[in-house]
Amino acid sequence: MLEQLKLDNQLCFRLYTVSRLITQAYRPLLEPLGLTYPQYLVLMVLWERDNQLVSDITHRLMLDTNTVTPLLQRMEREGLLVRTRGIADGRQTLVSLTHKGKHLEEKAKDVPSCMADNLRCGSSDVERYASLVTSLDEMIETIKVKEK
């Protein structure tokens, strides 16, 4: 067998596994809030800045509209947000938090620290964590540029 085709030599497999395991680790923290991980991501974007266009949300999450739209529809049915057509351009859709969606921010405030505890990212690991975030951001930017 070719060395480069061994699973243990694949960075992509490790990234896939870490992504899957982290999403899994969020589940017990988000289930009491009635949220899935993708819904949590949308809410974080809207908690940062409410009243955003769908295109801005998809850009921020680095996802396609076809992925985000069904998610937003479900969140609207659950009363977390509302979608309205743009006044200047009816093709655009504005997404705004409802009272329920805004109220979840307070309920979710401990999720990041709980995840840090779960991942054993204590104060001694802050530098390592920051380095990892920087490395992953650089990797994301490199891949995004090659996709264009």
Is 1 among the domain residues?
no
Tell me what pLDDT residue 124 has.
58
Tell me what pLDDT residue 7 has.
92
Mean pLDDT of 58-69: 96
Domain shared by 96 and 143, yes or no? no
Mean pLDDT of 72-83: 98
Domain shared by 91 and 66, yes or no? yes
The 10s digit of each residue's pLDDT in 2-50 is 888 899 899 999 999 999 999 999 999 999 999 999 999 999 999 999 9
Is 26 among the domain residues?
no
The label of the residue with tokens 């090659």 reads 146
Is residue 146 over pLDDT 80? no
Domain shared by 93 and 118, yes or no? no
Print the domain residue range for 74.
Answer: 36-106
Q: What is the DSSP letter of 51?
A: S
Report the number of distinct structural domains present in the chain: 2
Tell me what pLDDT residue 83 has.
96
Domain shared by 57 and 89, yes or no? yes
Higher pLDDT, 47 or 136: 47
Is 31 among the domain residues?
no
Helix/strand/coil for 87: coil
Domain shared by 91 and 122, yes or no? no
Q: What is the CATH number of the domain that holds 96?
A: 1.10.10.10
Domain shared by 43 and 73, yes or no? yes
Is 136 among the domain residues?
yes
The span from the CA of 123 to the CA of 46, in Å, is: 28
The span from the CA of 63 to the CA of 38, in Å, is: 11
The 10s digit of each residue's pLDDT in 85-135 is 877 777 889 999 999 999 999 999 999 989 888 877 655 577 787 888 899
Tell me what pLDDT residue 79 has.
98
Tell me what pLDDT residue 144 has.
84
